[in-house]
Structure 1
Amino acid sequence: MNNQVLASPIQHTYWKQLNNNSQKSFDVATISAVFDGTLQAQDIKVCLQKLLYGVEILRTHYHLDELGALWQNISSEVAVNFIELNWQHLDEIQIAEQKNNITNELKSCGSSTPWHRVVLADMGDTCWLYLELSGINTDAFSLNYLLDLLLSAGNGNLKQSLERLHEDIIQYAELAPWLADFLLDDDLLDARAFWTKDKSIAGLQQPFSLQRYMHASTIESSTRQYSFASVELGDVFDHLDSYASQHQATVAEVICASLRLSLTKYSKEASLARVFDSRGDSTLAEAIGPLSRAVPLFPDVSDSFDIAVENERDCSALAIDYSECFAKEHAHENDGFTFIFDSIDRPSGSAATIEQVAYFPEAFKLQFMLITQGNATRLQLTYDSDFIDEQALNYFLTSCKSNLVDHIQGNKISPPPSYKAMGKQVTTGNDVTVLKSFERALNIPDAAVTQVGGDMASLSDINASANRLAHYLIGTGIGKGDAIALCLTRSIEFVIAMLAVMKTGAAYIPIDVELPVQRINTMLQDAQAKAFICQGDFSIEGCQAIDYSALELGRYDITTPDITIGSDDLAYILFTSGSTGKAKGVSISHKALLNHMNWINQEFSFKPQDRFLQRTSASFDASIWEFWSPLLVGGTMVIAPSEINYEPSLFRRIVSEQHITRMQIVPSLLEVMTEDSFDGYEHNLQTIFCGGEALKMLTARRAQSVFNCEIVNLYGPSECCIDATFWRFNERLITDFVPIGYPVNNLSCRVVKENGTEAAKGESGELQIAGDSLFNGYYHQADLTDEAMHYCEASQINYYKTGDHVRVLADNNLMYLERLDDQVKLNGFRIEPDEITMLVLNAGLAEQAKCIFSASSHNLSLFIIEAKASATEIMQMLKSVLPEYMVPHQLIEVETFPYLSNGKLNKRALADWAMEHSSAGYVAPGTEIESKLVVMWQELLNISMSIGTTHDFFAIGGHSLLAMKVVNRITEEFDITISVRVLFEHKTIAELAAYIEPLTLLADVVESEDDEMEGGLL
């Protein structure tokens, strides 16, 4: 016959995947077995010679023609590659090393030459037989069949083995056109339609919650290939076989049904592709060559395992009938199914036991290979080591077997060990408060607090002033159990007041003086503040004012007040947004504060030489450690002006000139600050801490590149004293967002699923936190405190329910997913939209109201029904009581709210209405500058609506950080320099273009004059 034949569709698909995944060692297929007894090497060699002579596919190699068609080339003869080894003198460890060396010698033979290799090793009482073939020339059945022939020949049955190789054996080259007809014959259109495009695509690139979230290490990558693991099933085989018989199913179908159920825990829409061959016809029962292919199979996964097995059995029958008619669409030919299942059947009484099979019909991620051999039955897993690591894989395999046993025995599924992570358990020594650590730092030279462009004071001077102020406060009746507000700007005076209040035994309440007076008034009333410290003329109704600037502190004692403070006494009270219509006071004890500060100072080796940037508003918990770390380690606190948060050039200058080594920043601001490189600015940064919102991997990677320092992702609600978990950024990270990591010292975490049970690895649920950093409760709001806590009877531990949905990664680190309620983080600000809703309703300004946050437009919209006041009056009321970042960007009056079929409010529809409302009144750009600004806004805001010249930047999703990006782009595009404040004052494109135009004209004139001067000099 012709020695050149078109390849089959199966070979063509294999070729495409082989050449698209050349870094993987699946161009060869192997099988190995251990035989009890002695094998005759010469007989095996004779059998191998006969095989090579009689089976053309073993002598086949391939080439592509100029049209891209793949051809089989059948060589007339090939040399026998047979190796005989003597391992009788080796121990078990040495034998394992020899096997490993042989299997790792996998030749990258490609497909341009036929390849085979047989190794026979005599181990004394047993023998090891290893067969290796070109992967494109075989399948799992063929490997098993050929190995069986060689074993039989070596076991004294050479004649019988040779008789099975009769002259009229069906050659694979004869089958290739037949296999192609299934994909071309018009009479089989209905059969091909069985495999819908959706089914094929659904099996590709499936997520798996136990998969790697970081690239393998450099060492692992350098030797990267598929790896193997297995779980023994011999101990349950009799139960398996019996169960399969009772349900008229095969053992393979029972195991597949169980695997599908196991996979759904880690991949919601997991699709397990099955490998079927075309040997159903008796004439093809012993055909050798690639007659198997993986097909996407989607039986219904039922909670009843009996029904799941029936579904698997029925689906398998259909797949067997239609498997030859399956082909992936052209766009996905190179893509392999994520999960595939194949099987090999061996006689239960065989003297040979299959050890390992390496056959790769697809560029898969996980391949389940069931090797049925009686009491030696096992499930082998071949896995892409770039997809999942060994530890996670073994965890998954153990879970699979446990589930299988429970399924076939009718037991309730045993849950895997639940996730419980506990930070290092350390003691605080004799310290009860952070004040003792602060006092030890007073002896460190050069320890100081400095204000950029202002005063500087040593810690010793600050301590002396704090002691004097504390004595003054004590003299006014302030002491333990009291709450004192600090209505001061971030300054040296703030630090003195903070220390002084704590030295009296009272708790301090940091207040942002930029907040509306009415909101400050409400917070101090809720906290029952005994007094507030301010500077100058500042008054709060019903609360004693202490004007720091008017005090004559020199009159008071410089020694530390003799006050005994308990670990459970309050250190500070911090107000956050609340869903009831007013802010909640989070009360933090000295024990909690001391625990956090000890952790962060020790974990990151803070030292006196460090210079800490203090840039966060004092009313946010992220500022707490910015104040306390330098005070406790004797470093330098650099208090930056608030303008640093929206002026990138000022940020760069301060970080450089002040030699900052440690700083904290919200991820969205970090993204803006790293848009431009730090060229021209030297810096001393050692660590950048991120928190307040999800940190994008690309932002962290960019920051690490720009600053060449460590990036740390911090996570923690205010209720857990600043930070509860942390993760040091690793450049090998491959997820879109950076994990939130592992608990800090003396904190424990658990994750609770929707059904109330604790999550295990790979599962997700609500993060709950317990330990030394937990808050004492919401100040004077016991009901809210009770709602936020969950007492675990089993462990007798009180957990704080964060409301954050997280996933447990394979290594027990945590990944933040989303909020479980309506709470949002907007540029690091924690906002409860329901607080805004309740303010409107409680004030009687509308019959119904609902405030929502739209993730797409990144803003707040307030919807009202039957307004009782004008839109202007409602917005004025909200501005009088809310911080600027909580004021809705737009107010929309509607006749009714949209609802889902389950009766819940349709928030997605409201978000769409908000976008439509924003885009109303489109006015096209009329000048070149306006056109350029429209393009700029459209790109940065990333919204679907068409932006016009009259749209308010902040009403369509703009915010301060995006404003900084706009200013950066304006500088690049028009070669002019403007402040971010310009955009706050000129909020539409028309207004902004009118402001920019004269500046661009002036810039052109200056450039022209410079050119003329340069020409004159020349």
Structure 2
Amino acid sequence: MPVLHELLSAQAVRDEAGIASLCEGQTLTFGQAEVHANRIAAGLAARGIALGSRVGLHLSRSLHLMPALVGLLRAGGVCVPVDPEDPAERRTVILEFARTDLVLTERALLTAAYPPGTIVVAVEDLLAEKADFTPVAVGGDALAFVFYTSGSTGVPKGVMLTHQALVSGQYWLQDTFDLKPGERHLLRTTLSITNLVREVFWPLLHGGTAVVVPPGDHKDPDRLVEIINATGVCNLLVVPALIAGMLQNPAFAANTSLRYVFCSSDVMPGALAEEFFATGPGARLFNMYGLTEALYASNFECLPGVTYDGFVPIGHAAELTPLILDDMLRPVPDGETGELCLTGTGMASGYDRLPELTTAKFAYTPAGRVFRTGDLARRTADGGFELHGRMDDQVKVSGYRVELGEVEARLKTFPGITGAVVSGRRGAGGHQRLIAHLTCSGPAPTAADLRAHVARHLPAYMVPAAFTVVDAIPLTHNGKVDRRALAGQDGHLIHLAETHQEPRTDLERYLCGLWADVLDLARVGVHDDFLALGGDSIQGFLIAAKANAKGIGLSST
């Protein structure tokens, strides 16, 4: 089995003139991408990058992304992606903890904040050097990526993935869905999540084209529909909330190029699948389940004419083998609930410099080495799997994993906050938002100050939507936070708006009702702040689409 960067070399030999990637009307052929990747690899090698060197990748989505990533790996480097949209402090923490030897970026981002002493080089400058490259022997067991996710201790944790683990997943995708040379994938992922691997390397495996979504457009449903229709995309991977927004656009239903639409990274409401077949394009729809540590765990094909109560099932085994085990890691009888564990080639090696956590989450059983997901699940009568909640305090918000402890730790650094408990609250439409309960040593801070404090250090999806001050955090008999009691406890809700103002006109009543419907709230006032109510950019685009469909010219920005 080849390593990741060899996929481009093989494709460049098969179809040198084929289109590897496309962005805003500009193209890059497989042959050109191969030349660019070798130049980047040579430039990195000249700066000391060798087998096992950690290289931060801090790039916007563009035609540079594919050759930069391939060149980094070809030089023997281990890619540590950092998202340009994340706060500078989070980027610095990740790069420092990962002990990166160099950061590969672009000229527009050279002035961004990096750890002191970091070597920073722009991909454009490496491409201009045109140095010769001496190949580096990279084996399948070599580390390829370290993806940093939210950590329960307050610090992000790095998930280590080898070439073999990631290539195995790409072969499973291609064997299962059999895409043809020249067929087009949408590349819209942020750099810091594992979908980056799928959206760059699956097209290379079968000779497809990656249609790169420009920065800023990846959360705009209308813009995505426009790009998909204009470029003939056949393969689309998005979070459920984005599909909901795209279905509001009549042009999406008119699409004729899409073959596969994949929903992942969050639960899919059953009503969304039904709406897709009623008003969407004629593509097949799949619900995918996986984690950063175990990417392709299960998949489920939704079918037209079928009603799904609650949420769509996660389906049957994919590249990995799911097991339902008890607390002693023994199989539970079919139909009983246990912890969902995964085994197979496409699993992470462990957590970067966290041996105790690695030992706890990656266990050895008679079935082999397994990853303990922390998800409660049971096997269904048809041999599939369905989820029944979590064993810990981890939630998904807008498709991103959030360890509640990391948000709590940040809130406790605000002056006067003596205690913080953060919970996930999912609305009827499936969207989840964070709710913080706080104890204070003095007067309660404002919601605006709390939001600003968290946003300076954590990504936007980790900023709580609501803050409630309580007298004390209730505990169970063994000293743990009693979240059930806390949810029912009265407290002082900190509002961003000083007073609630009911809507006065028909337009205000419609817009407040629309906000309340999309955000799953009992009421919305005229002066309420969208972000403070738990809204995110995807929901903002959805609200704008619904309003525009009624003839109300509403911008999502």
TM-score (norm 1): 0.51
Q: Give the conservation status (yes or no) of the 8 Å contact 1:669–1:961.
A: yes
Aligned to 1:104: none
Q: Cα distance, 1:889 vs. partner?
A: 2.4
Partner of residue 635 from structure 1, selected from 193, 203, 208: 208
Q: Give the conservation status (yes or no) of the 8 Å contact 1:434–1:632.
A: no
2:74 is aligned with 1:503? yes
Q: Give the conservation status (yes or no) of the 8 Å contact 1:533–1:548.
A: yes
User: Which aligned pairs between 1:517-666 and structure 2 lie closer than 5 A?
Assistant: 517-536=88-107, 537-538=110-111, 539-542=113-116, 543-551=118-126, 553-557=128-132, 561-666=134-239
Aligned to 2:3: 433
Q: Give the conservation status (yes or no) of the 8 Å contact 1:971–1:977.
A: yes
Q: Secondary structure at the match of 2:493?
A: helix
Q: Give the conservation status (yes or no) of the 8 Å contact 1:655–1:683.
A: no
2:321 is aligned with 1:744? no
Which whole-Å CA distance do the structure 1 matches of 2:488 and 2:531 have between them? 17
Partner of residue 723 from structure 1, selected from 272, 275, 296: 296
Letter in 2 for 1:744: A
Which whole-Å CA distance do the structure 2 matches of 1:887 and 1:680 have between them? 34
Letter in 2 for 1:551: L
Q: Give the conservation status (yes or no) of the 8 Å contact 1:488–1:535.
A: yes
Q: 1:574 to 1:804 in 2, by over 3 A?
A: same
Partner of residue 326 from structure 2, selected from 739, 753, 775: 753
Letter in 2 for 1:879: A
Q: Give the conservation status (yes or no) of the 8 Å contact 1:432–1:565.
A: no
Aligned to 2:85: 514
Q: 1:650 to 1:679 in 2, by over 3 A?
A: closer
Deviations 1:722-756 (A, max 9, x none): 322122223364432222222223x3221123575
Deviations 1:20-68 (A, max 9, x none): xxxxxxxxxxxxxxxxxxxxxxxxxxxxxxxxxxxxxxxxxxxxxxxxx
Q: Cα distance, 1:842 vs. partner?
A: 6.2
Deviations 1:652-694 (A, max 9, x none): 2111110001110111211221134337844300111110011
Aligned to 1:883: 459
Q: Cα distance, 1:450 vs. partner?
A: 3.7
Partner of residue 949 from structure 1, selected from 517, 522, 526: 526
User: Which aligned pairs between 1:79-90 and structure 2 lie closer than 5 A?
Assistant: none
Q: Secondary structure at the match of 2:268?
A: coil
2:506 is aligned with 1:964? no
Which whole-Å CA distance do the structure 2 matches of 1:733 and 1:679 have between them? 21
Q: 484-493 or 837-846: which moved more? A: 837-846
Letter in 1 for 2:269: K
Letter in 1 for 2:389: E
Which whole-Å CA distance do the structure 2 matches of 1:629 and 1:679 have between them? 24
User: Which aligned pairs between 1:64-83 and structure 2 lie closer than 5 A?
Assistant: none
User: Which aligned pairs between 1:275-294 and structure 2 lie closer than 5 A?
Assistant: none
Q: Cα distance, 1:622 vs. partner?
A: 1.8
Q: Give the conservation status (yes or no) of the 8 Å contact 1:618–1:624.
A: no
Q: 1:845 to 1:752 in 2, by over 3 A?
A: farther
Q: Cα distance, 1:645 vs. partner?
A: 3.6
Aligned to 2:282: 708
Aligned to 1:165: none
Deviations 1:81-127 (A, max 9, x none): xxxxxxxxxxxxxxxxxxxxxxxxxxxxxxxxxxxxxxxxxxxxxxx
Q: Cα distance, 1:435 vs. partner?
A: 2.9
Q: Secondary structure at the match of 1:480?
A: coil
Structure 1 unaligned residues grouped into runs of 5+:
1-430, 982-1018
Q: Cα distance, 1:909 vs. partner?
A: 4.6
Q: Cα distance, 1:926 vs. partner?
A: 2.1
Q: Give the conservation status (yes or no) of the 8 Å contact 2:466–2:534.
A: no
Q: 1:680 to 1:895 in 2, by over 3 A?
A: closer
Deviations 1:580-618 (A, max 9, x none): 101111110011011001110121102212111111112
Q: Give the conservation status (yes or no) of the 8 Å contact 1:646–1:961.
A: yes
User: Which aligned pairs between 1:794-805 and structure 2 lie closer than 5 A?
Assistant: 794-795=366-367, 797-805=368-376
Q: Give the conservation status (yes or no) of the 8 Å contact 1:595–1:773.
A: yes
Q: 843-852 or 783-792: which moved more? A: 843-852
Q: Give the conservation status (yes or no) of the 8 Å contact 2:50–2:77.
A: yes
Q: Give the conservation status (yes or no) of the 8 Å contact 1:859–1:956.
A: no
User: Which aligned pairs between 1:226-375 and structure 2 lie closer than 5 A?
Assistant: none
2:357 is aligned with 1:787? no
Q: Cα distance, 1:969 vs. partner?
A: 2.5
2:392 is aligned with 1:814? no
Q: Cα distance, 1:843 vs. partner?
A: 7.5
TM-score (norm 2): 0.91
Aligned to 2:35: 464
Partner of residue 930 from structure 1, selected from 508, 532, 554: 508
Q: Cα distance, 1:818 vs. partner?
A: 1.9
Q: Give the conservation status (yes or no) of the 8 Å contact 1:438–1:633.
A: no
Q: Secondary structure at the match of 2:296?
A: coil
Aligned to 1:484: 55
Which whole-Å CA distance do the structure 2 matches of 1:654 and 1:764 have between them? 43
Deviations 1:155-196 (A, max 9, x none): xxxxxxxxxxxxxxxxxxxxxxxxxxxxxxxxxxxxxxxxxx
Q: 1:646 to 1:513 in 2, by over 3 A?
A: closer
Q: 1:665 to 1:749 in 2, by over 3 A?
A: same
Aligned to 1:827: 398
Q: Secondary structure at the match of 1:434?
A: coil
Structure 2 unaligned residues grouped into runs of 5+:
none
Q: 1:941 to 1:567 in 2, by over 3 A?
A: same
User: Which aligned pairs between 1:892-903 and structure 2 lie closer than 5 A?
Assistant: 892-899=468-475
Q: 1:957 to 1:874 in 2, by over 3 A?
A: closer
Which whole-Å CA distance do the structure 2 matches of 1:845 and 1:535 have between them? 41
Which whole-Å CA distance do the structure 1 matches of 2:536 and 2:369 have between them? 38
Identity score, percent: 26
Partner of residue 338 from structure 2, selected from 732, 755, 765: 765
Which whole-Å CA distance do the structure 1 matches of 2:553 and 2:507 have between them? 15
Deviations 1:550-591 (A, max 9, x none): 33534311x5x3211122111111111110101111110011
Q: Secondary structure at the match of 1:854?
A: strand
Which whole-Å CA distance do the structure 1 matches of 2:6 and 2:58 have between them? 26
Q: Give the conservation status (yes or no) of the 8 Å contact 2:259–2:283.
A: yes
Q: Cα distance, 1:873 vs. partner?
A: 5.7
Structure with bigger RCO (C-alpha 8 Å, 6+ apart): 2
Q: Cα distance, 1:958 vs. partner?
A: 2.5
Deviations 1:688-716 (A, max 9, x none): 11100112233223324421111122111
Deviations 1:258-312 (A, max 9, x none): xxxxxxxxxxxxxxxxxxxxxxxxxxxxxxxxxxxxxxxxxxxxxxxxxxxxxxx
Letter in 1 for 2:55: I
Q: Secondary structure at the match of 1:657?
A: helix
Letter in 2 for 1:549: E
Q: 1:784 to 1:511 in 2, by over 3 A?
A: same
Letter in 2 for 1:540: Y
Q: Secondary structure at the match of 1:578?
A: coil
Q: 849-858 or 521-530: which moved more? A: 849-858
Q: Give the conservation status (yes or no) of the 8 Å contact 2:43–2:129.
A: no
Count of residues in Structure 1 that have an aligned counterpart in Structure 2: 543
Q: Give the conservation status (yes or no) of the 8 Å contact 2:341–2:372.
A: yes
Which whole-Å CA distance do the structure 2 matches of 1:918 and 1:666 have between them? 30
Aligned to 2:24: 453
